[in-house]
Amino acid sequence: MPRSNRPRGRRAGDDDDAFDLERLKAGWRRTEVKRSGTWNVQPVSESAAVKEYLCPSCRLTVEVGTAHLVAWRADGLMGDAADLAARRHWHSHCWRMEP
């Protein structure tokens, strides 16, 4: 039987589609203005939450596998690098309640 030169398995576009879907599920970084200043907010999906963190609002643990938010100052005085280094992981409901 002659050999077929057709590629077998996944197509090249399949990986891109999965990546885009994961990015859409995770959400996009946005800027929010609160009384305490301007903040960058990045949602973290359940599948991307692979470590435990301490929520700065309620002081309870953000468990592994729990969707949550990461927030850092967008208007800090020490510069972008210092603001990014000071980012914190929040429960979504705690962030909504924060003034």
pTM above 0.75, yes or no: no
In the chain, pLDDT over 90 holds for what percent of residues? Answer: 58
Given a contact cutoff of 8 angstroms between Cβ atoms, the answer to whether 71 and 56 are in contact is no
| 3 occurs within a structural domain | no
Other residues' Cβ atoms within 10 Å of the Cβ of residue 6: 5
| 8 occurs within a structural domain | no
The tens digit of pLDDT for each residue in 21-37 reads 555 555 688 999 998 89
Number of domains present in the structure of the chain: 1
| 20 occurs within a structural domain | no
Instruction: State the pLDDT at residue 61.
Output: 97
Domain that includes residue 43, residue range: 28-97
Buried-exposed string 51-74: b where 16+ CB fall within 10 A, e elsewhere: eebebeeeeeebeeebbbbbbbbe
